[in-house]
Amino acid sequence: MWTVECMLRYTNRSILGVMENQPTNHNYYDKNVTGSVNQFNDALESLMRNLTRTAASGDSRSKYATASAKAPNFQTIYAQAQCTPDISSEDCTKCLEEAISIIPECCSGKAGGNVVKPSCRIRFDPYIFYGPTLKLDPDAPPTTPLQSPSTNNTSSQGKSNTSRTIIAIVVPVGSVVLVLSLFCIYLRLWKPRKKIEIKREEDKDEDEITFAESLQFNFDTIRVATNEFDDCNKLGQGSFGAVYKGQLSNGQVIAVKRLSRDSGQGDMEFENEVLLVAKLQHRNLVRLLGFSLEGRERLLVYEFVQIKALITSYLVWRNWREGTATNIVDPTLNDGSRNEIMRCIHIGLLCVQENDAGRPTMTSVVLMLNSYSLTLPVPSEPAFVVDSRTRSLPSSELTEHNSSQTRSSESTQNSVNEASITELYPR
């Protein structure tokens, strides 16, 4: 009889030290493997082989092993292997290998499974189902039997030997009782905390898997969207690969970076990097929509952003200096006065000049906004702008997405804040 935690077996013949493979019982977890089944099976087989060696190397007190391994699509396999401790290491290995060979027949494509035999059992699941493994101390050397007191000893020697015997018995027994009491207290306090940690880890793994699956695009979908990666859709070529423009079936325009195949980055490292970048959200960053992983093909799918929008986000000062400040005006502001819009931009640049002595006070700003007859001074370069003295586009990454030309950047050291104090109120 088998249960999740234990096995009960009885018979009218001797079973100790005898390895038996039959009868065999097996079942599987109803959740299917996500991603490549072959890669999952390879990771599972390697994990089970390692557990077989560990369990079979145990002594006559315990032949038991647990471990976990990473599988594709951010899955974790938790596995257990165990033999009855009365059989030999060779028989334990044979029994576990026989159980492992049944997995493709009973549990192919499943995220969990269980195979039990009279002399051994194996189990694997996508969540932790086993507790901590207690390490047993090596066998203690046999104790030397106490010498019986000689009949010629005096009565005082007999009392002394009796006292030593009592001490020799009481001290070890008391120590064992104390250790067991402390161990029980530890388990009582540790188990609830461990369950909470396991639950959090399971929820985190589930969230990571769900998030990763939501980002993954089908390779054929991207191939159709870019018209088989047609050169007519090619936006540019960078050191990490080419960038193509595409359109999904729902009409969304995308930019697809096709990474070079000799990048040397593994699948797991690539997927971890995608997850990290996808969680970064900023209005000045091109948003990563997802990825595709097919054989040696690694694709990154970004939202398509016109180069004009990127220029207006980063190079306000450059446009003002070159007389093209209208490029930074939102098209939805067509109803407003063009001169009034340019005046507001002019005042804004005056307020962020590098030299704080040249910045207007709040009173001056109010006067500038209300009096169009007042002539505004020429603004100087802003202070707190990332790479404010850049002479060209700031990033080859932006060029790879939206331009067929790669521009280089020449930057000098950023401006230094020369203000002596921080003023918490307007001047």
Rounded to the nearest 10°, the torsion over CA 42, 46, 52, 54 is -160
**Those residues with Cβ within 8 angstroms of residue 168's Cβ, 6 or more apart along the chain or in another chain:** 146
Question: CA geometry: angle at 196 spanning 195 and 201, to 5°?
Answer: 95
Residues 6+ apart with CB under 8 A from 175: none
Distances (CA, A) of 116 to 128, 140, 370: 19, 33, 86
Half-sphere exposure of residue 247, counting CA atoms within 13 Å on the CB side? 3
> For residues 322 and 143, what is the distance between their CA atoms, to the nearest angstrom?
95
Q: How far apart are CA 24 and CA 234, in angstroms?
A: 59
Give, in order, the Cα–Cα distances in Å from 419 to each of 61, 127, 389.
Answer: 75, 57, 20
- What single letter denotes the amino acid at residue 283? R
Q: Is 195 annotated as a binding residue?
A: no
CA nearest to 60, candidates 19, 92, 88: 88
Residue 44 makes CB contacts below 8 A (sequence gap 6+) with: 69, 71, 77, 79, 103, 124
The label of the residue with tokens 């065999």 reads 24
Instruction: Say which residues have a Cβ less than 8 Å from residue 113's Cβ, sequence separation at least 6.
Output: 26, 27, 28, 29, 103, 106, 107, 123, 124
- CA 371, CA 389: separation in Å to the nearest integer? 32
Per DSSP, 353 falls in state: B
At residue 187's C-alpha, the angle toward residues 186 and 188, to 5°, is 90
Give the annotated binding-site residues.
257
Give the annotated binding-site residues for ATP.
257
